[in-house]
């Protein structure tokens, strides 16, 4: 089976390549080969590709910068999907489209279900909502599409919260971290396994149009920063940990407003796929160990 992966240099893209099942042939596209801000290229790529599947994990993920680069974010996260879906209607190919908890406003205090109305707070969330809407409204054969929402993706690669906090632990005496935004991290590797499982199962049976995946548990950014310090010290990645001071979002204003509570309910996806999510702290330890191994190789 042939699978085109967009965003192959990103956290999820790299994990998808690392964990490729033996029966799959990947075409890993980068921004240079396929610019997602060009809707015509997205359409033509689908027509030209000999693929059975596209996994669209390329995205404009700079949440704060998106408040300024509004049109760019909408093109990449939204209108690219218009191009893909129009192409797929011609070729009858399949799409697995990765989306986000940020399509919700975080005003409720229990996990979001797949079928709840989208209510994004910021440009990134709006742009990802546009992408979801194109999948829902444009794809003629809904059996050929899956939207997989996830949250707070982390990995030993690229720029992310874990690597930023790790550096701050080693350099600073104390760090201020927001404690009133609640979510759950998602290990990019486990997310990649979920993607491959969806593709495997979709060849055999129908799956829901919208699925959701994250690690298990609940955390604030403050909790994760504390855990990074503790685990980093335990495994010898850090020589010291900084004191982590909990602060309110109002003390750390950012251009993009973020949801206060963005837990996705993963029960349905877990049951259908037969995969249990692992607690975020256990997965965080795996990521930090992997990061340590990568540093030792340098």
Ligand X SMILES: NC(=O)c1ccc[n+]([C@@H]2O[C@H](COP(=O)([O-])OP(=O)(O)OC[C@H]3O[C@@H](n4cnc5c(N)ncnc54)[C@H](OP(=O)(O)O)[C@@H]3O)[C@@H](O)[C@H]2O)c1
* List of residues contacting ligand X (CB under 6 A): 6-7, 9-13, 30-31, 34-37, 57-61, 76, 98, 100, 128, 150-153, 158
For ligand X, the closer of residues 30 and 220 by Cβ is 30
Q: Output Rg (C-alpha) for the chain, integer angstroms.
A: 19
Name the minimum Å distance from CB 98 to ligand X.
4
Name the minimum Å distance from CB 173 to ligand X.
28
For ligand X, the closer of residues 39 and 241 by Cβ is 39
Query: Looking at 43, 60, 124, 261, which residue is catalytic?
Result: 124
Beta bridge partners of 96: 55, 146
For ligand X, the closer of residues 162 and 273 by Cβ is 162
Closest residue to ligand X, judged by C-beta, is: 10
For ligand X, the closer of residues 77 and 241 by Cβ is 77
Name the minimum Å distance from CB 213 to ligand X.
10
Name the minimum Å distance from CB 100 to ligand X.
4
Q: How far is CA 129 from the centre of its chain?
A: 14
Q: Confirm whether 261 is a catalytic residue.
A: no
The residues that are catalytic are 124
């Amino acid at each position: 089976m042939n699978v085109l992966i967009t965003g192959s240099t990103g956290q999820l893209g790299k994990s998808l390549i690392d964990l490729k099942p033996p029966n799959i042939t990947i075409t890993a596209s980068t921004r240079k080969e396929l610019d997602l801000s060009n809707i015509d290229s997205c359409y033509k790529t689908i027509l030209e590709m000999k693929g059975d599947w596209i996994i669209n994990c390329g995205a404009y993920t700079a949440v704060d910068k998106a408040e300024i680069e509004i049109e760019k974010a909408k093109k990449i996260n939204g209108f690219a999907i218009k191009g893909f879906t129009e192409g797929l209607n011609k070729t009858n190919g399949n799409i697995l489209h990765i989306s986000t908890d940020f399509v919700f406003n975080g005003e409720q205090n229990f996990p979001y279900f797949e079928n709840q109305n989208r209510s994004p707070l910021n440009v990134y969330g709006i742009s990802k909502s546009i992408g979801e809407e194109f999948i829902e409204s444009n794809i003629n054969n809904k059996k050929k599409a899956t939207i997989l929402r996830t949250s707070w993706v982390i990995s030993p690669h690229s720029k992310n919260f874990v690597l930023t906090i790790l550096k701050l632990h080693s350099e600073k005496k104390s760090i201020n971290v927001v404690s009133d935004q609640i979510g759950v991290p998602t290990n990019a590797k486990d997310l990649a396994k979920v993607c491959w499982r969806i593709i495997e199962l979709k060849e055999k049976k129908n799956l829901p149009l919208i699925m959701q995946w994250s690690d298990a548990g609940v955390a604030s950014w403050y909790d994760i920063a504390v855990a990074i310090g503790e685990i980093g010290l335990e495994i010898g990645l850090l020589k010291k940990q900084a004191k982590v001071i909990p602060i309110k979002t109002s003390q750390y204003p950012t251009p993009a407003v973020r949801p206060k509570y963005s837990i996705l309910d993963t029960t349905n996806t877990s049951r259908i796929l037969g995969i249990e999510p692992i607690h975020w702290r256990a997965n965080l330890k795996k990521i930090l160990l992997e990061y340590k191994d990568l540093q030792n190789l340098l």
